[in-house]
């Protein structure tokens, strides 16, 4: 039974026929979060590199 339920969940998530709006928003939010994290990391790396250069490490 569990395997069947899991398979159904995955097939629903893969085809997205039921609630496209909710899934679409979820995907968009995840993508935006990923991009935001990447930007933050880049900025943080720049700050870290600059502070290393100025402090002489």
- Mean per-residue pLDDT, 21-48: 85
Quick one: pLDDT at residue 23? 75
The total number of structural domains that make up the chain: 1
Quote the pLDDT of residue 26.
Answer: 83
The verdict on residue 14 lying in a domain is: no
Owning domain of residue 27: 19-57
Please determine, for residue 16, whether its predicted confidence score (pLDDT) is greater than 70. Answer: no
* Residue 7 counted as domain residue: no
Note whether residue 29 is domain-resident. Answer: yes
pLDDT band at 45 (very low <50, low <70, confident <90, very high): confident
1 pLDDT tier (thresholds 50, 70, 90): low
Residue 23 · residue 31 · CB < 8 Å = no
Three-class HEC string of the chain: CHHHHHHHHHHHHHHCCCCHHHHHHHHHHHHHHHHHHHHHHHHHHHHHHHHHHHHCC
What pLDDT sits at residue 55? 72
């Amino acid at each position: 039974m569990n395997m069947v339920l899991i398979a159904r969940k995955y097939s629903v998530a893969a085809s997205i026929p039921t609630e496209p709006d909710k899934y679409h928003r979820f995907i968009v939010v995840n993508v935006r979060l990923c991009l935001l994290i990447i930007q933050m990391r880049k900025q943080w790396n720049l700050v870290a590199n600059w502070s290393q250069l100025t402090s002489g490490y």
